Structure 1
């Protein structure tokens, strides 16, 4: 009997010592925990490749498994039903605005997490180790509470060909409109077309110009009210009608269907500048692997408008499911991806922008760092000019006609107010 009782006692002790009882769940030790991450990337994309490598390294270092489910952009359709069904999803990602607005009720607040330090942040807190501008934007998008962790930041800036600038004798990037005009004149004199645009970015082009002429608030009012009677609209027409006559903007811009301008003109080395995102080098690296990229903020245009301190910027972002059973481990992986080695690797492989303050920037986007660091005013995408389909369509039609000369400044103004 004693032997039998002893055997039973040993079995009970063994069961109590198992992970099911030590800590209350099968996730008692890091080596047995799994974080399920639904990703917006495809497995073969640069971002997907880096994420997979990082997850493997993370497991080796921490014992925590990160199970990545690559959804691609279909995540916009697949995530909601999965969350509603209670499927095990610990991390998901997408655009910073979309995650907050579409899946906000599933987001775990992160304010307590970002106050702490982690292995890749050293003695600094997480919030002190990453871009303050992006954290502020994420908090704003979350209604005043930080619910997502941004990564893969971007800024909407002028991406330019440094070799073409050098050929034209341009030694500094323009900050004022007079300097911009001077740069355009030098480029044309050197036989180089200064700037182009595709149909996909015409509304943003128009919005940026108006914000520099009339200010942010007034520009947003025009966009949202479909009302363009402000004198800045006529001034825009005068500027770009004149620029088109001088050859400062490509004639092809009037008919460029995305991505014709960025491939056939920018990548081909025929045009020097494009008001676009810091994602442009990655988008056309296959067409222009050796292009010598630079970046500067759209110049100030007048006393009533915004200056180079106002720009559109954003990011993708990670969100943690409020129902996750492994939120600490999920945030640990997020820190791993947004600071240190893997933040730099993600930026390098995607020719993008890192999130960490101490992370390494790819040379293709390095000049955008100064712009982001000195941006104090955030502007919404296209400064609102894509909010209404009718406005977007009106801009594309009439700006194309302005470039071609079939509308003069007065005609453009009248057409925008029909």
Structure 2
């Protein structure tokens, strides 16, 4: 039997509040005995990733404070495909994590509404306001997930290579035409540098951003839903634009490369820019054993486009508690310890990510250049402006995009094939 201290969490019930490895004491300092028990947590991380190290440490501290162990199963990124069938089959899972938007939009039927538990801890004041707004928008004002490790998406560049290519901060492009000018200058210089690079898993990001700049994200979603690619001239123009980056030699000859190999060209001093999420700087420096002073700017906008650089993709991972769990409060308390306080800061420091707890205003130096753009963002984008939101469509559009940028099909053929897929 383990003893733990509890605090009032509402009329007639008690809740564990676990923060930074300490167990809080209620006004009555009541001590309650509970039997040995555990939380079953399916994680989106692999067990050798740095995020896993922070989670393991938090789990050990939670068990030491409460006597409740956290049984972690490291499922990796395939968790989005695994969690539904497992829960449908009656698998006992208390807690899982994944992209916070995907959890709400694809797995909401499995998730517990968290507002009451969150209210007792004043948790919602800790959530970045834009993340809170998005979550409420996606699910009728209910809080279904607890975001952590937020990220922003845009163009990351090596400041030293940027200067080596003859640019200053005044040359940061805000328009598509300006980006092409920068790429052209790098390609024609004696630096030997590639202007840009990308991985296979980010080609949808390139096209999604470009199309959304022309017509806005809501219109992108309508095109996907209705399959009207061949009826939207901007869809063809966006395809031509992205293909130009590869056809004109502005992209590395190795791009689109297998995962991480393209973005690592920056750490190896071969390429200057990459469009990716804010996890990329940390991954690149660790995998290439490099130290880089990073710059950032949002994806530029065409002169005749609807959206400008106020449109930025912001996202996060999220913890969700299953409706079938018999340890909802315990699961919430453990997740809370990772989304706020000490372990949120450890996650931030370990992987150079944006703090999840809005009480923390200091960003890691590696990604600090993006903070101003996030604060000025007024149009939140989804990943690839929503190209992944059509079930079963993600892989098909990526295959078509890979053919487009590898120059094995024309923009016209690309649009025709997308119309066939979704028409």
Please give the range of the TM-score, normalised by the shorter of the 2 chains.
0.7 to 0.9
| Superposed CA RMSD | 3.3
- Post-superposition Cα deviations, 1:174-209, rounded to whole Å, max 9, x if no partner, equal 333354344334534362321122332222211211
Contact kept in structure 2, 1:64 and 1:329, CA below 8 Å: no
Match of 2:415 in 1: 416
Q: Partners in 2 of 1:79 and 1:385 — Cα distance?
A: 22
TM-score, normalised by the number of residues in structure 1: 0.78
Q: Which has the greater radius of gyration?
A: 1
Contact kept in structure 1, 2:246 and 2:405, CA below 8 Å: no
| 237-246 or 362-371, which deviates more | 237-246
Match of 2:167 in 1: 169
Report the secondary structure of 1:261's partner residue.
coil
1:357-396 map, 5 Å: 357-359=358-360, 360-386=362-388, 387=390, 388=393, 389-396=395-402
Residues 1:375 and 1:112: Cα distance change in structure 2 (over 3 Å): farther
Residues 1:244 and 1:45: Cα distance change in structure 2 (over 3 Å): closer
Match of 1:275 in 2: 275
Deviation at 1:301, TM superposition (A): 1.9
- Post-superposition Cα deviations, 1:260-313, rounded to whole Å, max 9, x if no partner, equal 3223x2232211111111121343322243233232211222343211222333
- Which runs of 5 or more residues in structure 2 are unaligned? 6-11, 17-30, 418-423
Match of 1:97 among 84, 94, 101: 101
Report the secondary structure of 1:364's partner residue.
helix
Contact kept in structure 2, 1:175 and 1:299, CA below 8 Å: yes
Q: Partners in 2 of 1:68 and 1:82 — Cα distance?
A: 16
1:35-184 map, 5 Å: 36-40=39-43, 41-60=45-64, 62-63=65-66, 65-73=68-76, 75-76=79-80, 79-80=83-84, 83-84=87-88, 89-117=93-121, 125-167=122-164, 168-172=166-170, 173-184=172-183
Q: Partners in 2 of 1:281 and 1:369 — Cα distance?
A: 14
Deviation at 1:355, TM superposition (A): 0.8
Contact kept in structure 1, 2:51 and 2:350, CA below 8 Å: yes
Q: Partners in 2 of 1:377 and 1:49 — Cα distance?
A: 34
Report the secondary structure of 1:127's partner residue.
helix
Report the count of equivalent residues: 379
- Post-superposition Cα deviations, 1:363-404, rounded to whole Å, max 9, x if no partner, equal 222223333333332323322434434433332212321xxx
Residues 1:417 and 1:79: Cα distance change in structure 2 (over 3 Å): closer
Q: Partners in 2 of 1:238 and 1:24 — Cα distance?
A: 61
- Which runs of 5 or more residues in structure 1 are unaligned? 1-18, 118-124
Match of 1:216 in 2: 217
1:284-323 map, 5 Å: 284=284, 285-323=286-324
The reply on whether 1:342 has 2:339 as its aligned counterpart is no
Deviation at 1:84, TM superposition (A): 5.0
Q: Partners in 2 of 1:91 and 1:162 — Cα distance?
A: 41
Residues 1:321 and 1:35: Cα distance change in structure 2 (over 3 Å): farther
Q: Partners in 2 of 1:301 and 1:129 — Cα distance?
A: 37
TM-score, normalised by the number of residues in structure 2: 0.77
Match of 2:406 in 1: 400
